Each structure stands twice: as C-alpha cells, then as structure tokens.
Copies of this chain bind each other. A is one copy, B any other.
C-alpha cells in the first residue's frame, strides 16, 4: 500500500474557508451554521467515531470574516484543540436546562450583525443535527437575525476534491480492493452469507481500514432482490451470484464499490448481464470529463442497460463520494450538475436478470481534465467464479 499521510496541512483548511467566505459574500450570508459530522470535519479536521452517540449536539460557525468557531460539548474540547481551530467554546453536555443554545446564540450575535443572514445547509442530503425543540429555541432567541439556506455552498464546495482528498479515497479503494481480491479464500459454496460478511470486514481491517463503515450485499440465483439487506444466515448455493458492496473508511474518507462472484459456473443470463454492466461502466467512464453532466453519465449507462426502475434497485446509477458513503451529485436524468476536475464519483449500473432479480456493478472514479481516472482497480471483465483465480 502506498504511504499516504493522515490529516491535512492547515493551508487546505484555509483554502476551504476562503472559498466558502467568497461564496458567502455573494450570497449575502453573515455566517454558516453547521451541525453535522462531515460539515464540521470539512472545515476543522475534527475526526472521531463519537458521532455514533446521538446525545450531544455539535456546532460550528463559519463567520463572514475570520476563522471558524467551534461551539461544542466539553467532551470534545481536547480533541478539537488538536485541530487548527483556535476558537473553541464548550459547554457541559447533556444539559437539560440549555444544551448549548445559549452559547451558540451568543456566538452568533458576536459574529453576525443584527439584521444578518445565517446560512444553514437545507438542501438535498442535508439535515440539521439538533433537536427540533432546540432549533425553535435558537430561532426564538435570535430576534432579528434570519436563518436561511446556505445557498448550496457546503455541498458544492465538498463536491470538488483536492489531491490530498483524492489520495485518501484512493487509499480506501486500495484497501477494499485487496479485501475483494481475497474473496476467493473467504467465501465458498456452503458458507453462510453472514460469515462471509464478517470475514470480509476482517480482511478490510487487515489491509488497513480504520473501520468498515458500510457493508451490504446479497446472493441468489441470477442475482439478488435488493442491495441494502444485512447478511442472512443463508448458505451460498450453486448458481448464486454473490455481491459485496463496501464503504471502507481511511482517515475519514470512504470508498464505495462492489464486486460480484459466481458460485459455481454462472448461467448465460448472469454472464451476459455482467458483461452489460461492464460495458455500461465503460461508456460512463468514457463520458466522464469536465463539462459533461451527471445526467449524461446516467444516459451513457442507461443506453446500454435500458432498465426500468423497480423496487429494491438504487434508482440512480452512481453518485458523489468522499467524506460520506454517498454525497453530492446523483447520476439521474434530472441532475444537470456540470462535472469538474476533482469530482469523485461512483458508476453503478444495474441490469435485471430475471423478474425482481438483478446485478449491480460499481466503480469509483475521479474526473480529471483529461477525462476519468479509476480510483478502484476495475473489476474483471468476466464474472469471476469463486475458487477460480481471477
């Protein structure tokens, strides 16, 4: 595995901040109020699995000028102080009388003039991570300040990755790729799917994953019925196609791709469906370059697969990828986002093999000025058979 440094130099955070503040000026925003893990980490580098606990709200304020301000529970004070953030205000959470709302509104008042507008991410994929009662209390407390959406600033900033971010995603892809290379020894006829899932996660850890943020998959004759089920205690049977779809995390960045394996010699329909998946991926890969749109990638794949959407299928044929398993653009006919160099995407075509049963293939790419570049090591062009060397 190539040596990739952890963390980012401070100049990377300054660049993100400067870009945000330029866009905030255009959108007439006096501050951005952030509350979710990726939003806060994007501007600070604050990385912890502690977000798994829903108890405490966390806030970050991006003022129109000056550095970000962390308004966070004291349990995070020490870790936040290890980042480049200097202005860290903490309260002892949980506090049933005031769980940070007072501290947050004081901080906002300090940074934003009375008639100022505060942008809160409000569009697709966003969510406000605080109790609704506290949100209402904050707005009531703020008087003439106006909360509005963030004009899509955070989403659009995060969509274009730096070289250091791309290196981390490539590292996550390499780790998952190594684990996929081991599936021939991790899974065999008769093994139950849940045991295969456990072994695969261990393999990801052995190859250097910090943790395995996502694993789903399925197995069945001529494919699977959905792509989000947890693993059942069901043995792999002759004629099954096994699919594993993983999001391995390395230094806070995800990969997101899958691999398919035939259990015993695959039948013709499965082989031919798999070939179409590879062909569809090729078409999207060739189409992906600056100036093309997300919708064009959808159509490039759909021209090969011509799927009707049905229950259990993802619906979109790929998406953005980075600090989250899925983020940013969606490869759907309605997403006319123009691709830029540095965007990291998944290509994820679907082919129905028999009623209700389908195969999904997924690769990760980065858009470069010269065209697309694979971050995942592309899958075999023929459906691999478990136990046969690929």
Contacts and interface: CB of A to CB of B under 8 A. Distances in A.
Contacts of A78: 225-226, 311-312, 356
A291 interface: no
Interface residues of A, number: 86
B131 A230 contact: no
Interface string A202-215: 10011011111111
A149 interface: yes
Interface in A105-164: 120-133, 136, 149
Interface stretch (A257-265, A323-331, A361-369): A323-331
B315 A93 contact: yes
Given A55-B319, A74-B312, A96-B335, A49 B216 contact: yes
A95 interface: yes
Nearest to A133: B122
A172 to B, nearest CB: 14
A388 interface: no
Nearest to A232: B6
Contacts of A325: 52-53
Contacts of A214: 49-50, 52-53
B127 A127 contact: yes
A280 to B, nearest CB: 19
A220 to B, nearest CB: 12
A324 B56 CA distance: 13
Interface in A283-333: 309-316, 319, 324-327, 330, 332
Contact of A129 (B127, B309, B310, B356): B127
Nearest to A46: B228
A387 interface: no
B94 A227 contact: no
Interface string A76-107: 11110110000000101111110100000000
A76 B314 CA distance: 9
B122 A132 contact: yes
A247 interface: yes
A48 B129 CA distance: 21
A127 B131 contact: yes
A97 B156 CA distance: 19
A216 B213 CA distance: 15
B206 A201 contact: no
Contacts of A194: 210
Given A50-B228, A129-B127, A132-B122, A79 B315 contact: no
A311 B90 contact: yes
Given A74-B309, A99-B124, A228-B76, A92 B315 contact: yes
Contact of A313 (B75, B326, B356): B75
Contacts of A312: 74-75, 77-79
Contacts of A316: 94
Contacts of A73: 315
A96 to B, nearest CB: 5
Contacts of A65: none
A225 to B, nearest CB: 5
3 closest A-B pairs by beta carbon, nearest first, are A77-B311, A78-B312, A50-B228
9 contacts: A75-B315, A78-B312, A79-B229, A82-B229, A94-B124, A122-B131, A126-B132, A198-B208, A210-B231
Given A96-B335, A127-B128, A210-B230, 17 more contacts: A48-B228, A49-B214, A50-B228, A52-B213, A52-B214, A53-B214, A55-B319, A75-B228, A93-B315, A94-B315, A95-B334, A121-B132, A122-B132, A123-B131, A198-B205, A201-B211, A211-B212
